Amino acid sequence: MSSPGGPDPHTAQGGAPEDRPDWGAPPPPAEGYAPAPAWSGPAAGAAGPAGPRPPQVLMAAVFGFVVAFFALIGALGLFALSTISAQFALFGIVYLAIAVTDIWGGVQALTGRSSTVLKIGGAATAGLVALGLLVSLTQGQFNGWSLVLIAVGVGIVVLLSQPASRQWFAARGTR
């Protein structure tokens, strides 16, 4: 018997959906069909087989770039003063070398090639600034920026010596 709105959809097709086991199921694959293999490469934005870059490495590289900026400004100032004395030119070359080392080391750390150059740059920065602070203290002067630069130089070495940083570089086959 039909209802006033037309035939009952459950009875017209041979019963309720629960009675039909293949109702709503996808059709079986065609003969000879093989699904495409799953792609096992890194997800978009991932850093490859070694995993994402740890924040310690990123922060150490940023510190290296900041120190390089200040060293470059100092080198330019010392080169400008080199007309007064040749010692200023010598210190300008040292500051320029620190700037180049920190930039080169920061780029190598960010790309995962090596942490050694940035560690050397951070240690050299902390050591030379500490030496300069000692010399200025013997003359009765004190500069607070020296303490900041020493802390940043030591921070670079400490951040790159963290287990997460060392493991990330080791997974990439570098130090």
- Tell me whether residue 13 is in a domain: no
Within a domain: 138: yes
Residue 76 maps to a domain: yes
Buried (b) or exposed (e) across 128-161, using 16+ Cβ within 10 A? bbbeebeeeeeeeeeeeebeebbebbbbbbebbe
User: Does the residue 17 lie in any domain?
Assistant: no
Answer whether residue 134 is part of any domain.
yes
Residue 166 falls inside a structural domain: yes
Question: Within a domain: residue 37?
Answer: no
Q: Are 92 and 142 in contact (CB under 8 A)?
A: no
- Condensed to tens digits (0 to 9), the pLDDT of residues 111-127 reads 999 999 999 999 999 99
Q: Kindly report, residue by residue over 142-167, the tens digit of the pLDDT.
A: 888 889 999 999 999 999 999 999 99
If you average pLDDT over every residue of the chain, what do you get?
82
**Taken in order 117, 123, 126, 128, is the CA torsion positive or negative?**
negative
Distances (CA, A) of 153 to 22, 56, 92, 127, 147: 69, 14, 19, 8, 10
pLDDT at 41 over 50: no
Q: How confident is the model at residue 18 (pLDDT cuts 50, 70, 90)?
A: low
How many domains, in total, are found in the chain? 1
61 belongs to a structural domain: yes
User: Structural domain of residue 120, as residue ranges?
Assistant: 55-171
